[in-house]
Structure 1
Amino acid sequence: MLDIALLPGEYAVCRLAAGSTLPPGMSGGLSDGDVVTVSWTADGISVICPAHRAPEQAATETAWRCLRVAGPLDLAVTGTLAALVEPLAEARVSAVAFSTYDTDYLLVPAVRLGEATAALERAGHRVLD
């Protein structure tokens, strides 16, 4: 069983063109509980952030809610993401996952949040507000 915190507000999944620079202010001034993650590849830059911080020039998918596994998690632990994604897949709820050094995060569509939390709770996890 995992304890999972529902972060406040909506999140966005964004794509910037390869070679772009991050807008000023993306790396600082986070509110308590907010998370921003950035991934660079040869194909482009992906940003996951609170919706109100989404870069204006980015292709953006909004209306996601963010769930954080209570951590920190030991990096040697296996199966954490599988334990979360499998019940969501069975419930046919889309998910975007990302990890930090300390823990794992999941984004689920805001319109499917109730279904997502119910699926996670049926799988034995505890979702905390």
Structure 2
Amino acid sequence: MLDITLLPGEYAVCRLGGGTALPAALSSGLGSADVVTVSWTADGISVICPADRLPDEAVVETIWRCLRVAGPVGVDGTGTLAALVDPLAAARVSVVTFSTFDTDYVLLPAVRLTEGTTALERAGHRVVG
């Protein structure tokens, strides 16, 4: 069983063109529950951030809610994401995942939040928030 916290507010998974400068708003004044992650590839820049910090020029498909595994889980933890993704896949809920040094995060489409958290709870996890 995992303890999972639903972070407040909505999140965006977005794409910026390669070479785009990251807006300062992505890293300044983050609240204690906020999380921002940035990945650079040859194809562009992917950003996951609170929806209210969304860069103007970003391409966004849907709004998400963010779940954080109570941690620290650590980089050597095994099976954590599978324990979350498997019940969500069985419930046909799309996910985006990412990990930090300390823990794992799962994003669910905001419109499927209830179905997703119900699937996680049925799998034995505790969702709070």
Please tell me the TM-score bracket, short chain as reference. Answer: over 0.9
Q: Judge conservation of contact 2:16–2:59 (CA < 8 Å) in 1.
A: yes
Secondary structure of the 2:23 match is coil
Q: Judge conservation of contact 2:13–2:63 (CA < 8 Å) in 1.
A: no
Q: Judge conservation of contact 1:4–1:70 (CA < 8 Å) in 2.
A: yes
1:29-108 to structure 2, matched below 5 A, reads 29-108=29-108
CA offset digits 1:72-129 (Å, max 9, x no partner): 1132221100100000000000000000000000100111101000000111100011
Q: TM-score, length-normalised on structure 1?
A: 0.96
Q: TM-score, length-normalised on structure 2?
A: 0.96
- What is the deviation of 1:61? 2.8
Q: Judge conservation of contact 1:11–1:62 (CA < 8 Å) in 2.
A: no
Secondary structure of the 2:78 match is coil
Partner of 2:2: 2
Runs (5+) with no aligned partner, structure 1: none
Runs of 4+ residues over 4 Å off in structure 1: none
Q: Judge conservation of contact 1:2–1:126 (CA < 8 Å) in 2.
A: yes
Query: In structure 2, how many angstroms separate the alpha carbons of the residues matched to 1:120 and 1:126?
Result: 8
The number of residue pairs the alignment matches comes to 129
Query: In structure 1, how many angstroms separate the alpha carbons of the residues matched to 2:91 and 2:70?
Result: 22
Q: Judge conservation of contact 2:5–2:69 (CA < 8 Å) in 1.
A: yes
Runs (5+) with no aligned partner, structure 2: none
Structure 1 counterpart of 2:72, one-letter code: P
- What is the deviation of 1:64? 0.6
Give the fraction of aligned pairs with identical amino acids, expressed as a percent: 72
- What is the deviation of 1:23? 1.3
Secondary structure of the 1:83 match is helix
